[in-house]
Structure 1
């Protein structure tokens, strides 16, 4: 029950944010705002299912590998159901402004390493590094930098990519991403860890900008993965 309430609270928060974005970008409608909030709440719930139903933890391990696979499966279902085109999602390798795109990866590494040096007590084990190098960057970027912006902007039924950088949508989805990291509900109590949400939100603003500037999701996915690995490596053996 706590998991369902937590996901519902998160979806409600996303709806408030999406409706605020609506006021800044006329391409966003009440319907697309509600659809985005519903999708993100459902993604949150689906990602946590292996913790609720042991049979769904089919990959095992200390990290939530199975939850991320379920998130990816939901993403595929939403893409098919809404007929989101690869172009609208940024599913392409070719980069606009390629020099900027590839140079930005160094910035992601520096950002992750800086935070790791401050907050990470010690170097991670191999499973942690493998998980951080793959699952969060892939699953979360598809959700928050691919599907959520596309749905907010109404890019359904095979509509193409927008031609501009929609800052209101980028900031709104980045705020949703930060809230997702910060908000939780347990035993009748709501908890909100500001610092847990602040740094992911800042990083996702950069990722969101790059996703529209380059017209590709590749750099945000790689940047997210590299930043996560750098964070866990930067602490070093002794912390």
Structure 2
């Protein structure tokens, strides 16, 4: 699911979150953020460390993604029960902020189309894409990564930092910067990978902030993942 180095991603996120450790109010949330970040990658990697064949599929780490998603949901439930969080803080709601759905779609569709068109210009072509790859890209990346990054991790990071800015009707904070940097680093450290992943990460963050829900980020994330393969056929 990730092409980068989890330890590097954790180091990047922890370094950017460091200012919160100096603040008595934000310190506990910063510690929880770094711990949750490490937990997510640990759960993702666990099935791959298990002896024997991959669980559920041969080509992709289905079990790791689903296990990580379940772990993040369990952590969210604990934070709701013990730390005063609300489910809506994680984006776990079907309802969208008033007037946000149409605006979000009007931004997401052109960005998706432009990204697809740009990728088709590449000379790289895939000889074929197995059915398992289509099924995986249509489900697991968006579900697991959005629950973690734009869900639990963003909620913790936003509590650690109070600063907020409004861009395109969406309210952001330093927490969004920290989460996005960690997300990009998790996918790779080369300029090419960062150039491809960063716009997607910023779009998912904006959709989450604009709508207040993970619904569109999950859908758009999976469409983006599918388009990467479709553009190179």
Give the TM-score band, short-chain normalised. Answer: 0.7 to 0.9
Alignment map for 1:116-155 (pairs within 5 Å): 116-117=119-120, 118=122, 121-122=125-126, 123-154=128-159
Deviations 1:42-83 (A, max 9, x none): 211210122211368431321110110111121122112211
Q: Could you tell me how far apart the structure 2 residues matched to 1:114 and 1:77 are? A: 39
Alignment map for 1:77-156 (pairs within 5 Å): 77-83=74-80, 84-96=85-97, 97-114=100-117, 116-117=119-120, 118=122, 121-122=125-126, 123-154=128-159
Q: Could you tell me how far apart the structure 2 residues matched to 1:216 and 1:76 are? A: 15
Q: Could you tell me how far apart the structure 2 residues matched to 1:166 and 1:132 are? A: 28
* Alpha carbons 1:180, 1:197 under 8 Å: kept: no
Structure 1: 5+ residue stretches without partners = 1-5, 156-162, 183-191
Between 136-145 and 109-118, report the one with greater CA deviation: 109-118
The match for 1:194 is 191
Picking from 57, 61, 81, the partner of 2:58 is 61
Q: 1:28 to 1:235 in 2, by over 3 A?
A: farther
Q: 1:108 to 1:78 in 2, by over 3 A?
A: farther
Alignment map for 1:162-201 (pairs within 5 Å): 165-182=171-188, 192-201=189-198
Q: 1:149 to 1:119 in 2, by over 3 A?
A: farther
Normalising to structure 1: TM-score of the pair? 0.78
Aligned residues between the structures = 212
Q: 1:107 to 1:124 in 2, by over 3 A?
A: farther
Does 1:31 pair with 2:28? yes
Structure 2: 5+ residue stretches without partners = 161-168
The list of structure 1 runs, each at least 4 consecutive aligned residues, that deviate by more than 6 angstroms after superposition, is none
* Alpha carbons 1:112, 1:229 under 8 Å: kept: no
Q: Could you tell me how far apart the structure 1 residues matched to 2:105 and 2:28 are? A: 36
